[in-house]
Structure formats: structure tokens, C-alpha cells
Amino acid sequence: MNKYSHLDESTKLAIDSFLKTAMKMAKRFGQSNPSEDTRNEYMKMAKQLLLKKAKNKQSLRQIISSTRSKRTYYKRITALRYYTLLIGSESAETLIKEHCPIAENNIKKAAVDVADLLEVIKKGPGKIFSKTASKRSSLQGLPNDWVEKMCNYNEHSKYRDALHVVALIGCRPSELQKGVLVTYKTNINGESELTFKISGSKVTHHSGQEWRTITYHNIESSGIFSSFIESVKIVGNKKISIDSPINFTVEIRRIAKSIWHDHKKPVTAICFRHQFSANLKSMKIGDDTSRALGHRSTKTRRLYGTASQARGKPVGISISSSHDLKQHPAKGNDGVEP
């Protein structure tokens, strides 16, 4: 504590308390290096939770537990762990160099929050969570041509191209926000090729594909998405993006509700991803399915659409990606995860 000799006792005690708890956290969870998108998401969530905690005068346990979703519960813990450790560490580093009232205030808050969080983690949720159905279950009851109907619902919609892209490659809305480059060309054999270049989201040093390309061969022969393909052919390549993943999903929900009033489960952007995965799995191209979804591990694809949910006829498709795959045993009798 000598390097903090220029600070008062309460601040030095807060730093000492924070560092001890941070070491326990590191020992329990190790070091994490989430992607930039994930870091931003954690920061936003943690700030909202701590603001709600102060406003409602609730404990950290009450705030974290105010959800019926197991996934949300643990995501809140992860977000708060990332945020409190980051703020506390930055404040401690600042206070080594100089006295700073803002850093003093932050380290005192971080010391309390990280200690409370560790107690919440040790005790566990203490509740039974509601079982949340996967979005792939939303595909049940939709007609075989649901994707085409969604894409062509409104030819004047500003999301029309984006809908076609998410339908054809199952990308994440956050990847559409970055922009997907679509290229049309004819190869030396006279075959048409429609290629999508995606910059991946949810990418860390150990997971996710930084980039991937998905190429359809002679896609227009099927007659599906012909108007979209023609618009790309005119310019040769086209970058398609959206401003807001949230607004994009809201529009998808609205369109689906307009077409199928009685469909009980919500149709979202992720449903297109499940459908894309199902179609690929029906073609028994396991590893390429993982690459196409932007995964670096073969086991993750099991969470997305099953081969039995496939719609439409098999098409010529090829996939490449920035990283090799981490292999895991496949499940299911079709040679890929169900």
C-alpha cells in the first residue's frame, strides 16, 4: 500500500478490498477477453443495472435476480463482473499516479459492488428459472415459403435488401450493421456466382470467425430472390447494411405478424439464422455449416435449426473463413448436430 501513501485511509482500504476480491474473481473465472461488441454490450447492461439498483434502493442480488431467464441471469453476472473489475482496475491505476476524486469515488463503489457480486455468485440464483424455448421452435407452423414471403412483403421497404441478405446467409443483425459486401460475377465456366463477405461479430482471440465468405452457384436458376440478384448484377457488387439491429428485428416482427396473425411464437432475425442452418444441415455439410454461421467450434452449431426443419431444394454453395475449426464429436444420425 506504500504506493498509495498520498491517499486517505478510506481510499487505501477500498483499493485493498477491491484488489483482494478481484484476485478471487480471477482465480475463479480466469481472464476473459470478449470482443469489442460484447464489451460494449456488457458495459451498457452493467451501467443500467447499477443505475436501477441505486434508483430503486435494491440490493445487487435483487437486481440480478429480477428475471425469469437463466440466460439473462448469468449474462447480468458476467456483465457486472466485467464492468466492476474494469472500473476498479482503472481507478486503482489512476490513484497510483495521483490523487483523483473521481477515481476515489469509483474505487469505493467498485470495492462494494465486486464484493457483493462475489457473494451473489457464491450463493447462486436460489430460484428455478422458466424454460425458454429456442428461437428455432418459432419455425414450427410457418409455411415452406415463409422466408420468401417475408423478403418480398414490401418491395419499397428500406430493409428489403437486408432481409434478402439475412435470409440467404443467416448472418447476425450486428454483422449486418457492419455491412455485408455482396458480389455477382460469372466464372470461367460461365456459371454465375453470388458471394457474400461478412465481417464477424462475437469474435475473440479464441472464438468466432473474423471474416467468412458464402458463395451461391447458379442461384438464379431456382427463381428465388431473383429481384435481389438482379439488383446486384446491375452494379456487380453492393454493400448492404442496417442502422440498428433492434429496429431491424422490430420490423421483422411486424411483417411476420402482418402475414401470419395467428402464429403464436415471435419471428425475429434469429429465425432466419436457424432456417439457414437447417437448410445447410440437410445437405450434410457439417463443418461448412459451422463456418457459415461464423463459429470456430463445431459444437456450437447444434444450437441452430435442425435438418428436419429444412425448406427448399439443395443449392450449390461454398464457404470459406478466417480460421480453422475446433473439432468436436458430431451428434445426430445425419452426421451433423441436430
Q: Write out the DSSP string of 206-249.
A: SSS-SEEEEEEESGGGG-TTHHHHHHHHHHSEEEE--S-HHHHH
Q: Evaluate if pTM is beyond 0.95.
A: no
Cβ count within 10 A of residue 290? 29
pLDDT in tens, 190-221: 888 899 999 999 888 888 999 999 999 887 65
pLDDT band at 300 (very low <50, low <70, confident <90, very high): confident
**CATH 1.10.443 domain range(s) in the chain:** 135-321
> What mean pLDDT comes out for the span 267-289?
92
Report yes or no: 252 and 167 within 8 Å, Cβ to Cβ: no
Bridge partners of residue 181, in order along the sequence: 197, 239
Say if residue 336's pLDDT is above 50: no
> What mean pLDDT comes out for the span 91-120?
93
The pLDDT value recorded for residue 338 is: 37
What CA–CA distance (Å, rounded) separates 115 from 270? 36
Say if residue 334's pLDDT is above 60: no
What CA–CA distance (Å, rounded) separates 112 from 110? 5
pLDDT in tens, 23-42: 998 888 877 777 788 889 99
The pLDDT value recorded for residue 134 is: 63
The pLDDT value recorded for residue 130 is: 66
> Does domain 135-321 bear CATH number 1.10.443?
yes
Q: For residue 338, with 0-12 CB atoms within 10 Å meaning exposed, 13-18 middle and 19 or more buried, which class applies?
A: middle
Kindly give the pairing relationship between strand 192-199 and strand 211-217. antiparallel
